[in-house]
């Protein structure tokens, strides 16, 4: 397993794209960089940018089968491709993020880190350039029981553990379980922004409404945690109900609603092979949809072809 390189942050002054660059890979006399996102060349004085807190986002909904892991994995991959340093935390006992990225899942993962049994270097997996995975899996069932038994103290321990590794990243994305349990509540206490994928069918919409009620009951929604993005998934323009639900979401929630992610068999097949949409051809509908989501989240121009980010 690769260790975590010591990196510095460099931001393009034109488009705002941020690059996390390993210090040992910058030649001593380099005094300028070229942004791969907008092709701008800009001077660099050899100084590291001041550190800042990463954006912390959970991809969550108390319903299975709405595309949470697919959204988490592809959003993380797209942000990394755009030049950001990204940590993807798998907080789902199903532990599908590792398989979706085609990487081996180490023993322990998030549970071992929170329990203090393993160090970040032992559990973080470099899944792609600039994209690191903190795996989940069946051991999270034990972590869920521990947090439930400790109440707010358990939530604080989880948040402190993640805060201890977040400083090296621009984004921390957390893929949560479909269950409303102590672990999910602990994650929602840690993050500051919420992404809710909603498949465009009646049961999922009902689950969305129930989830908002749970958030309000916990005193999270509208306070520490902000609902930032609603991602309509499994969109099929040939089905009237799919179109109607999407339009109703747009009418009610306005700019919170992202462009829909269309039904795409190639996307699902690719994920089963451990690949992201950014391993697909640029003409792929799935790739185009997730590029649009990455741009909305990060405020970026169109992404460069895979492997060309700085």
Q: Please give the pLDDT value at position 230.
A: 97
Q: Is 41 within a domain?
A: no
Q: Please give the pLDDT value at position 9.
A: 66
CATH number of the domain to which 136 belongs: 3.40.50.300
Q: Please give the pLDDT value at position 250.
A: 95
150 is in which domain, residue-wise? 53-298
pTM of the full predicted structure? Answer: 0.80
Q: Is 6 within a domain?
A: no
Q: Please give the pLDDT value at position 10.
A: 74
Q: Please give the pLDDT value at position 1.
A: 30
CA distance 82 to 98: 21
Q: Please give the pLDDT value at position 3.
A: 36
Q: Is 2 within a domain?
A: no
* DSSP three-state, residue 13: coil
Q: Is 3 within a domain?
A: no
Q: Is 150 within a domain?
A: yes
CA 120 to chain CA centroid, nearest Å? 18
CB within 8 Å of 199: residues ≥ 6 apart:
65, 66, 67, 232, 233, 234
Q: Is 278 within a domain?
A: yes
Q: Is 138 within a domain?
A: yes
* DSSP three-state, residue 116: coil
CB within 8 Å of 156: residues ≥ 6 apart:
none
* DSSP three-state, residue 48: coil
Q: Is 13 within a domain?
A: no
Q: Could you tell me the mean pLDDT of each successive run of 10 residues in the chain, 310 residues long?
A: 49 64 72 77 69 86 92 96 93 89 81 87 90 87 84 83 88 94 91 95 93 83 79 94 95 95 78 83 85 91 52
Number of domains, the chain: 1
Q: Please give the pLDDT value at position 93.
A: 86
């Amino acid at each position: 397993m690769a260790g975590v390189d010591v990196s510095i942050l460099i931001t393009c002054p034109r488009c705002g794209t941020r690059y996390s660059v390993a210090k040992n890979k910058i030649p001593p006399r380099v005094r300028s960089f070229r942004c791969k996102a907008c092709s701008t060349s800009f001077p660099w004085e050899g100084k590291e940018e001041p550190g800042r807190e990463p954006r912390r986002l959970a991809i969550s909904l108390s319903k299975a089968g709405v595309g949470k892991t697919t959204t988490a994995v592809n959003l993380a991959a797209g942000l990394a491709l755009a030049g950001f340093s990204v940590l993807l935390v798998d907080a789902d006992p199903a532990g599908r993020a590792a398989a979706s990225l085609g990487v081996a899942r180490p023993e322990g993962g998030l549970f071992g880190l929170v329990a203090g049994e393993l160090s970040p270097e032992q559990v973080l997996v470099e899944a792609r350039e600039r994209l690191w995975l903190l795996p989940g899996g069946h051991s999270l069932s034990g972590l869920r029981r521990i947090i439930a038994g400790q109440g707010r103290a358990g939530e604080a321990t989880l948040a402190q553990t993640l805060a201890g590794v977040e400083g090296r990243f621009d984004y921390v994305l957390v893929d949560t379980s479909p269950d409303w349990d102590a672990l999910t509540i602990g994650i929602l206490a840690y993050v500051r922004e919420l992404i809710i994928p909603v498949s465009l069918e009646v049961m999922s919409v009902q689950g969305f409404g129930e989830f908002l009620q749970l958030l309000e009951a916990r005193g999270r929604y509208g306070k520490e945690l902000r609902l930032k993005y609603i991602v309509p998934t499994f969109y099929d323009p040939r089905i009237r109900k799919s179109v109607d639900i999407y339009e109703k979401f747009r009418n009610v929630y306005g700019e919170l609603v992202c462009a829909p992610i269309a039904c795409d068999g190639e996307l699902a097949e690719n994920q089963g092979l451990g690949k992201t949409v950014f391993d697909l051809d640029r003409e792929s509908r799935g790739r185009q949809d997730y590029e649009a989501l990455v741009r909305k989240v990060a405020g970026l121009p169109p992404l460069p072809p895979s492997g060309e980010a700085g």
